[in-house]
Amino acid sequence: MDSIAYVNGSFVPLSEAKVSVLDRGFLFADGIYEVAAVLDAKLVDNASHLARLKRSVGEIALELPESLQRIEEIQKELVARNKLESGLVYLEVTRGADTGRDFPFPKGVKPTLVMFTSVKDIVNAPAAKTGIAVITVPDIRWERRDIKSVALLAQVLAKQAAAAAGAGEAWMIEDGKVTEGGSSTAFILTQADVLVTRQNGREILPGCTRKAVVKLAEERQLRVEERAFTVAEALAAKEAFITSASSFVQPVVSIDGKPVGSGKPGPMAGRLREIYVDFARATAV
Amino acid sequence: MDSIAYVNGSFVPLSEAKVSVLDRGFLFADGIYEVAAVLDAKLVDNASHLARLKRSVGEIALELPESLQRIEEIQKELVARNKLESGLVYLEVTRGADTGRDFPFPKGVKPTLVMFTSVKDIVNAPAAKTGIAVITVPDIRWERRDIKSVALLAQVLAKQAAAAAGAGEAWMIEDGKVTEGGSSTAFILTQADVLVTRQNGREILPGCTRKAVVKLAEERQLRVEERAFTVAEALAAKEAFITSASSFVQPVVSIDGKPVGSGKPGPMAGRLREIYVDFARATAV
């Protein structure tokens, strides 16, 4: 059944939700996006997503067409209109559609705001039980990966390569170290029971789920080190897993066909997943 | 007045030309584009643009929804419908709109083909006489700049910085050398009368106008060296200029506020511009 989308002030069937071919999101990837999970018909960790949205648009000098408060209202209205119990709300802001195509920022053009939802049973995703295979690819992206822009072609190619190999994610490698997954953060649990994930910087997106999981782990007296790690370290680790808004915490059981740890989902990934789901439900709005 | 655009088989007013919010060009920058100049109501160097289009889509495993021959027919029909004498035809191919948003290539989805035109008097552009100022910015783009994708956010930011500084182009710098302009190729003419432009590779887009100008210069016994050059070399050169489909050949008179050569448009840029315009008119289809 057709769901309802939001486009610049109007709620319309998704199949009829359109933007101008002059929209700078379509012509230049001149836009920013966020994806928030929905559990029990509520938005998960949404303040974190909206804070990141504000930061991303600021980094490319793009003004939001609506306040963060109003954006959250629209997210909630979309969840309600679509009777969405469990799934995702996607939102994209672009620098709008000018009367023609010219690279510099247009003047007097209102930014575009688009939102739509999708149904997804994130809590009961089979991959949480089976784990996922990961492949590695060179990280060929631009130098501002901390900006959550829609210029995602490199990630599309990475995740297509993963899909073609029957894997659930591609870990991108730069200077011999894992940066992150195509649409997730990479974690390992060392043999010394230290959780390791790359420190934030321009090399990776500052993951909202990453941030929450690190905080939840530290609150439980788990040791966390924020530093880059190699594939060899990941293969020698007890466990590996990914985090993202659309998968929460998912165990990684192999990398490039080689088993991680036992080759089966590990207890720490399972435990952190449960902790995260509890946090998500308890704080959703 | 509203011009006519082409969207997936239909000719529609540009103001009504739209794509789905699920179009992968809008969501992922999963698309390729080309811009061809129009002179005397004919397409300039179009075979070169279509050959590059074919190469670009091949590099990201995107199938064209129409043959190159049919694409050229549509370009011509658009020029005719818009009675375009002088200007540009923009075309974009994306991996189409699936029923939702997922990174890997969708199955059974027809690619999107969009085209529109703009009026521009390229031959009599004032900048051809006055020359343009150039600023330099770090080249922060991804590693496959040879693919003419719509993932152009880095170029948008570079050209916005140029516009804000009152300059006409931004030259992007990597490892101390100029890669190219935000939407043009960079050339210099050394004191020894050698034309220098960077060799093709993954670091730059293989410019169609670059290719034609190099060929036209060599046919006239001018010495051409294809190699990277520094800003210091450009400032010590007799002349500098840029080439692109939308500007042909344009003199560069300053870089970061420092004059190139005499600080005025040089004779070589003027001569190559005339030669290119003659070639463009003679070979347009």
pLDDT tens column, A241-276: 999 999 999 999 999 999 999 999 999 999 999 999
Would you say residue B1 has pLDDT above 70?
no
Which residue, B119, B142, B171, sits at the end of a domain?
B119
Cβ neighbour number for residue B192 with a 10 Å cutoff: 10
Q: Are residues B177 and B52 in the same domain?
A: no
CATH at residue A77: 3.30.470.10
Which residue, B72, B101, B119, sits at the end of a domain?
B119
- What are residue B168's phi and psi, to 5 degrees? -95, -15
Q: Are residues A37 and A155 in the same domain?
A: no
Q: Are residues B112 and B209 in the same domain?
A: no
CATH at residue A191: 3.20.10.10
Confidence band of A7 (pLDDT split at 50, 70, 90): very high
Q: Are residues A93 and A174 in the same domain?
A: no
Asked if A99 and A61 count as a contact pair (C-beta separation under 8 A), the reply is: no
Rounded to a whole number of angstroms, the distance from the CA of A21 to the nearest CA of chain B is 5
Would you say residue B275 has pLDDT above 70?
yes
Q: Are residues B164 and B46 in the same domain?
A: no
Q: Are residues B113 and B197 in the same domain?
A: no
Q: Are residues B84 and B135 in the same domain?
A: no
Tokens coding A281: 């439900």
Preferred mutation among A15, A27, A155 to probe B, highest tally of B CBs within 10 A: A27
Domain count, chain A: 2
Q: Residue A155 is inside which H or E element, if any? A: helix A153-164
ipTM score? 0.98
Q: Of A87, A95, A78, A113, whose CA–CA distance to A35 is shortest?
A: A87
Q: Are residues A268 and A211 in the same domain?
A: yes
Domain membership of residue A95 as a residue range = 4-119
Which residue, B119, B152, B185, sits at the end of a domain?
B119
* Residue of chain A minimizing CA distance to B60: A157
Q: Are residues B48 and B139 in the same domain?
A: no
Q: Are residues B103 and B194 in the same domain?
A: no
Q: Are residues A138 and A248 in the same domain?
A: yes
Preferred mutation among B4, B6, B27, B34 to probe A, highest tally of A CBs within 10 A: B27
- Note the pLDDT tens digit of each residue in B82-136: 999 999 999 999 999 999 999 999 999 999 999 999 999 999 999 999 999 999 9
Contact between chains at B29 and A27 (C-beta distance less than 8 A): no
The yes-or-no answer on residue B159 being catalytic is no
- What are residue B257's phi and psi, to 5 degrees? 85, -5
Contact between chains at A17 and B14 (C-beta distance less than 8 A): no
Q: Are residues A178 and A102 in the same domain?
A: no
